[in-house]
Amino acid sequence: MPTVEVTDLKDDDFLLDVREDDEWQAGHAAGALHIPISEFVARYGELTEAAPADGRVHVICRSGGRSAQVTMYLVQQGIDAVNVDGGMQVWAAAGRPVVDAKGEPGHVL
């Protein structure tokens, strides 16, 4: 499973958040694309439209389990995807900004 540490991510890296709506609304990384894992296959086209053509997709969830599943699926589709180790819990613990649905400071559920 290709993985990356939160501390290795750059501010302009493409981030795909696969958590559910309530988790997203409570707090997420600004600029991330949100497609819940429960809707991922049906909304796959949104990812292919938004992702950089020759770039990497960094997949994140709360702790790394759901994002690992999506990462494996994307790799099978030939997409350069990596799982963000530790997910949003590590993101927040590392001091990375977390915003809620209104753009205000958020928290990780």
Positions annotated as catalytic residues are 61
Tell me the C-alpha distance between 85 and 64, whole Å: 6
> Nearest to residue 40, comparing CAs of 24, 58, 19?
19
Q: Report the chain's C-alpha Rg in angstroms.
A: 13
Joined together, the tokens standing for residue 4 give: 């990356």
Instruction: Please say whether the beta carbons of 74 and 44 come within 8 A.
Output: no
